[in-house]
Amino acid sequence: MRPLFILAACIVGLALIDPQDVLTLATAASSLETFATIGLVALGLGLTMMIREFDLSVVGMYSMAGCIAVVMGGTHAWLGLACALAAGLAGGLAQGWLIMRLRLGSVGVTLGGLLVFAGVAYVVTENRALPYENMQVALGLSAPIGGIFSTRSLVAIAIFAAAALVIGLTRYGRDIIAIGSDRRGAMTAGVNVNVLVIGIFGFSGFCAALSGALLSYSLASASPAGLSDVIVPAAAAAILGGVSLAGGTGRPLGIAMGVLSLAVLRAGFNAVGAPPYVNGVAMGAILLIVAILDGPYLARRLHWLVRRRAH
């Protein structure tokens, strides 16, 4: 319930500041564009957090996929997208395989992956920003559909819906929670831990690649150095969405709420004309409050403070 509450608080808070500018279709559309930009990265990262791992490499994958798509998709956009997705899936699966086969920690492996993917992005673009000439694709991806949607945001919503259905209705959802809560117990209970963990890293790579490629297409440019600040909003969204770094909690719908909260905040601050840094400060403050409220020792410390005051 908390993700829904945070989302509602964000909307109500912004609406109280300036209802006329905030509660518009333009704000909704702009929120959904942000949702498309960070949503899938947050979903992939959130799933790795649910199994008690952490996929740092999404940052590198995001920019690598954008660069591959723009380089390979000059004439055929689908070809570029396919190459980017294949690279994302392969990179994610390879990292998952390394983690399980060599029993390595995921932060270390995905840090290596991050540096390698960023390196590939520099190599395929030959260290410069590339324009994407196919303007039809660029415009088509961001063209409004039904007032507030675009192809990009519909793709993100569709993948969230698919993930929510698979995790909510099949045993994969329970297996993922089981792996995140108690890996050895899950193994004993007959969960195929290896396949699921490798698969989730593959899915995370795929999601990061998809949103990176679509973003580069819609911006009509790709740069190996840009796009790198995606991990902060993605991790923040997953955590606001009820995913815990301790593993074993979270749902795709919750992550979607978390992403929407951040997206609404960004669009709302833009709508009321706040300077750009307000969004960063607000995101940091919300994240810090969530971290404090989630602190396992919070109740104990408060109790101690109250008792000390009583004496």
Closest contact distance (angstroms) between CB of 74 and other proteins is 19
* 106-125 and 58-72 helices, crossing angle to 10°: 20
Is residue 294 close enough to count as binding other proteins by CB under 8 A?
yes
Is residue 181 close enough to count as binding other proteins by CB under 8 A?
no
Is residue 102 close enough to count as binding other proteins by CB under 8 A?
yes
Is residue 303 close enough to count as binding other proteins by CB under 8 A?
no
Is residue 114 close enough to count as binding other proteins by CB under 8 A?
yes
Give the list of residues 6+ apart from residue 253 with CB closer than 8 angstroms, or none: 3, 160, 164, 168
Looking at the DSSP assignment, which residues form a beta bridge with residue 130? Answer: 222
Is residue 125 close enough to count as binding other proteins by CB under 8 A?
yes
Looking at the DSSP assignment, which residues form a beta bridge with residue 145? Answer: 149
Interior angle at CA 144, CA 162 and CA 275, nearest 5: 95
Q: What backbone torsions phi and psi does residue 289 show, to the nearest 5 degrees?
A: -65, -45
**Neighbour-count burial of 95, counting CB atoms closer than 10 A to its CB (0-12 exposed, 13-18 middle, 19+ buried):** buried
What SS3 class is residue 26? helix
Contact code string over 53-72 relative to other proteins, x by CB under 8 A:
-x------------------
Is residue 90 close enough to count as binding other proteins by CB under 8 A?
no
Is residue 280 close enough to count as binding other proteins by CB under 8 A?
yes
Is residue 284 close enough to count as binding other proteins by CB under 8 A?
yes
Is residue 184 close enough to count as binding other proteins by CB under 8 A?
yes
Q: Which residues make up the interface to other proteins (CB under 8 A)?
A: 54, 98, 102-105, 107-109, 111-120, 122-123, 125-127, 184, 187, 224, 228, 231-232, 235-236, 239, 245-246, 275-285, 287-288, 290-292, 294-298, 301
